[in-house]
Amino acid sequence: GENVEQHPSTLSVQEGDSAVIKCTYSDSASNYFPWYKQELGKRPQLIIDIRSNVGEKKDQRIAVTLNKTAKHFSLHITETQPEDSAVYFCAARGGANNLFFGTGTRLTVIP
Amino acid sequence: GAVVSQHPSRVICKSGTSVKIECRSLDFQATTMFWYRQFPKQSLMLMATSNEGSKATYEQGVEKDKFLINHASLTLSTLTVTSAHPEDSSFYICSARENRGNQPQHFGDGTRLSIL
């Protein structure tokens, strides 16, 4: 099955700086890569996703890049704000239609 | 937008009790729903894929007789934790995806299960 690895596990940035989280996947058949933000005790919220026919996607301060050849994708958050502090999960979905999640990154934005 | 409703949100019960968790897609039909378990400070681990009208597909290491899944309609899947023990205490989250096209996956609010 799919194996998704995510780095770093924790990330602290100053307010206004950028944050980058990276993920790799193993199944070349995976074609959908969402990113979720999860606050403590709450449901994961989809913040952005990218499909395998696209290399980059941007939504305001959030962007995701995908390198299918290398099988890695990244989340970029610019101009970080304290409310961006949360745990972020990458995920990959392939032929089995199941979502497999990375191990999560705890992002702390320091005011 | 797509909404997934899950309840109960919190269950505290004695060891040996069976607990049923419901997951509903409120404004869309979902042939397939997914059940995840999340331990504190860990990622979401897929337990099983629930298929409407057929048997669920369980991930390796997940006991199908322990975690009973019923997907009786296109909008409802249930997970029953049978004879729950303290080690079953966890955050259980369901997820569903619209049948049409390649749609995103939406999550319920989760159920925090505590077995005493």
d(CA B14, CA A37): 33
Least confident range from A15-19, A43-47, B38-42, B97-101: namely B97-101
Q: What is the pLDDT of residue B79?
A: 97
Amino acid at B68: L
Residues of chain B with pLDDT under 50: none
Chain B residue with minimum CA distance to A87: B41
Q: What is the pLDDT of residue B12?
A: 97
Q: What order of strands is seen across the sheet that includes strand B67-73?
A: B4-7, B19-25, B76-81, B67-73
pLDDT tier for residue A49 given thresholds of 50, 70 and 90: very high
The three-point CA angle A79-A84-A85 to 5° equals 125
Tell me the pLDDT of chain A averaged across its residues. 93
Whether a cis peptide bond, with omega within 30° of 0, leads into B8 is yes
Report whether A80 contacts A23 (CB < 8 A): no
Chain B residue with minimum CA distance to A91: B44
Q: What is the pLDDT of residue B1?
A: 62
Q: What is the pLDDT of residue B105?
A: 85
Amino acid at B9: S
Interface of A with B in 41-100 (CB under 8 A): 41-46, 49, 51, 89, 93, 97-100
d(CA A10, CA A21): 10
Tens of pLDDT, residue by residue over A77-105, are: 999 999 999 999 999 987 667 889 999 99
Q: What is the pLDDT of residue B89?
A: 96
Which of A68, A66, A56, A59 lies closest to A37, judged by CA?
A: A59
Cβ distance A100 to B105 less than 8 Å, yes or no, reads no
The three-point CA angle A76-B43-B30 to 5° equals 90
